[in-house]
């Protein structure tokens, strides 16, 4: 295995048009050859690498850790589940895309942009710098995003908070408490009789609200459903062959609430 690490620099977060400082991003590849030597280090490869490293350190073979890390990253978007055992997809992720060499599927992404955008908007939802979004999602990926926002060892993931306009990643604020406080009540799930509702499992939340909502809203506004159905073939259209109006209004309302946070977020003031 070869670990590639990119450090420093900055990126433009398109979700709120801010310049976000980078820390480090990793990519782990099973080999480098004269043919396989063009790699794209991204937040997606970093999240996968976090899970790979954890699994390998805890007894998994390097091969199984590589596969497991890729599968845990792909699980952030339900539309990728068709690819979950397709090893050609894992290598294509290292090249910068989410697609299969062996099958055609309309959800294939040439640059993984929908999932990357979903991570950006998770940062908007939680008011987090981009580098801290990647950090905490990677920690949650160690054991495939357990309930309670814990890492692979079962410890609560600490996310940090804003102190006097600067983000302190060491401040004692857990990802669970942050998500429970920031997630709208309409998007929370039951935690059992007599208990207050809580934020959904992280992977399910990103997939439904940070990825699918944008695709559905685009289909609703544009009137076309072909791409929506290629991404989510299980979605049931209405009797007129369109997106259900109630689904359109619900997605639009959630997106409006999400983007409204940009004006008050600390992270959206970063330059």
pLDDT tens digits along 98-148: 988 887 766 677 778 899 999 999 999 999 999 999 999 999 999 999 999
Task: Please tell me the distance from the alpha carbon of residue 81 to that of residue 155, in angstroms, as a whole number.
Answer: 27
Beta-bridge partners for 28? 3
**54-98 tens-digit pLDDT:** 999 999 999 999 999 999 999 999 888 888 899 999 999 999 999
Same domain as 140, residue 106? no
Beta-bridge mates of residue 20: 11
CA 68/CA 50 separation, integer angstroms:
11
Helix (H) or strand (E) holding 221: helix 213-222
pLDDT interval class at 202 (50, 70, 90): very high
Task: Out of 110, 127, 153, pick the residue that ends a domain.
Answer: 110
Helix (H) or strand (E) holding 12: strand 10-13
Same domain, 105 and 7: yes
Residue 271 lies in a domain: no
**11, 68: one domain:** yes
pTM of the model: 0.94
pLDDT value at position 106?
A: 64
- H or E element in which residue 27 lies: strand 24-29
pLDDT class of 223 with cuts at 50, 70, 90: confident
- List beta partners, residue 189: 198
In a domain, 270, yes or no: no
Average pLDDT, the chain: 93
Report the number of distinct structural domains present in the chain: 3
Quote the domain boundaries for residue 245: 203-262
């Amino acid at each position: 295995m070869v670990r590639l690490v990119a450090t420093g620099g900055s990126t433009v977060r398109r979700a709120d048009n801010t310049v976000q400082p980078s820390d480090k991003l990793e990519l782990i590849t099973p080999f480098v050859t004269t043919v396989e030597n063009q790699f794209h280090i991204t937040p997606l490869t970093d999240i996968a690498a976090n899970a790979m490293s954890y699994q390998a350190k805890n007894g998994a073979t390097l091969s199984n850790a590589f596969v497991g890390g890729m599968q845990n990253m792909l699980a952030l978007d339900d539309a990728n589940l068709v690819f979950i055992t397709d090893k050609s997809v894992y290598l294509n992720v290292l090249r910068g895309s989410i697609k299969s060499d062996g099958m055609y599927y309309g959800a294939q992404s040439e640059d993984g942009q929908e999932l990357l955008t979903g991570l950006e908007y998770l940062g908007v939802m939680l008011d987090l710098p981009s580098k801290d979004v990647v950090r905490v999602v990677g920690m949650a990926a160690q054991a495939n995003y357990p309930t309670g926002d814990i890492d692979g060892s079962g410890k609560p993931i600490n996310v940090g908070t804003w102190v006097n306009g600067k983000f302190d990643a060491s401040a004692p604020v857990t990802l669970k408490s942050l998500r429970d406080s920031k997630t709208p009540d309409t998007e929370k799930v039951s935690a059992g009789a007599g208990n207050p509702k809580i934020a959904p499992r992280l992977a399910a939340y990103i997939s439904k609200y940070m990825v699918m909502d944008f695709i559905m809203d685009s289909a609703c506004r544009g009137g076309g459903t072909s791409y929506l159905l290629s991404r989510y073939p299980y979605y049931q259209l209405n009797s007129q062959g369109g997106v259900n109006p109630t689904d359109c209004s619900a997605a639009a309302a959630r997106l409006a609430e999400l983007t409204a946070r940009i004006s008050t977020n600390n992270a959206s003031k970063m330059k």
